[in-house]
Amino acid sequence: MSKGGLSKSRLERMHDVLARHVEQGAAAGIVTAVSRRGEAHLDAIGTQDLAGCAPMRHDTIFRIASMTKPVAAVAAMILVEECRPRLDEPVDWLLPELAGRKVLTRPDWPLDDTVPARRPISVRDLLTMRMGFGLIMEPSGDWPIQRAMSEAGSDPGANPPALAPDDLMCRFGSLPLMHQPGERWLYHSSFDILGVLVARAAGQPFEDFLAERIFVPLGMQDTAFAVPEAKRPRLAASHQADAPHPAGSRRATTALPCSHPAARGCSPRSRTIWRSAACY
């Protein structure tokens, strides 16, 4: 055991376990960061893509995707601390598109079978994903609201269409809620909307607020909504599975083309943040 408390044997065992995941094709490469009692250990295993073109490095930049939600929550709570807005007040004054909501009688019923919302949506509802709108875990995709979400371009997904915030809010506002505000947890959509709320409350683009109030003060120099050209060599490739793979074999994957938003380092809805392991 070293002075700082990091055991060499335990670190070696962790390296061996993660290296096996890379060898089996679960990931092209992995970066780990362990800190205990003032001592830090970084380990880079494998490569930045399945083609093995570039070795994984300690400062490789990764997509953090849905881990942007805690960042957006911090941004919202900064504004709540400044009383703009308050946690339990209606969001209508910042998001008028969500005022006067209608709610489906049942989530799988026709879009015109609705009742009035019992109360407005609050900031707390957005933070807890209980605004009444979000991802429906119905695999058929045949519910009327699911089809309407897809047609409106507001359905949750890995690669949503590129929409300006105001356009996005108009599309959300054109659809009924699936549940009463505060009634049920539904993943995803609340945080798309929370980003718009932060931008409007702060009077500046969401990404600018994050940089000014969170990333720059914390020294998170590689965290942003897009990867500058000079940093592209450090960006890990994005792959998608082609088909189920037999146990023990390498995963069948296809590298996303350079024209794909996730591959070139920008989010279609300015939602995905990129983060380097060096930021931890």
Q: Report the distance separating Cα 63 and Cα 220, nearest Å.
A: 14
pLDDT digits (tens, 9 = 90+) for 122-169: 999 999 999 999 999 888 889 999 999 999 988 876 667 788 999 999
Q: What tokens were used for 200?
A: 């409007």
Q: Report the distance separating Cα 142 and Cα 106, nearest Å.
A: 14
- In the three-class reduction of DSSP (H, G, I as helix; E, B as strand; rest coil), residue 99 is classed as coil
Q: Residues with Cβ < 8 Å from 205, sequence gap 6 or more?
A: 199
Q: Report the distance separating Cα 227 and Cα 179, nearest Å.
A: 38
pLDDT digits (tens, 9 = 90+) for 47-57: 999 988 899 99
The pLDDT, as a whole number, for residue 273 is 56
Continuous H helices in the chain: 8-23, 68-81, 123-127, 144-152, 165-173, 189-202, 206-210, 216-218, 261-264
Model confidence at 7, in pLDDT bands (50, 70, 90)? confident
pLDDT of 250 over the 60 cut: no
pLDDT of 13 over the 80 cut: yes
Domains defined for the chain, CATH in brackets = 8-65+221-279 (no CATH), 68-209 (3.40.710.10)
Contact 120, 113 (CB under 8 A): no
DSSP 8-state symbol, 226: B
Count of Cβ atoms closer than 10 Å to residue 135 Cβ: 16
pLDDT of 21 over the 80 cut: yes
Contact 201, 213 (CB under 8 A): no
Q: Is the backbone of residue 119 left (phi > 0), alpha (psi -120 to 50) or beta?
A: beta
Model confidence at 255, in pLDDT bands (50, 70, 90)? low
Percentage above 70 pLDDT, the chain: 83
Percentage above 90 pLDDT, the chain: 69
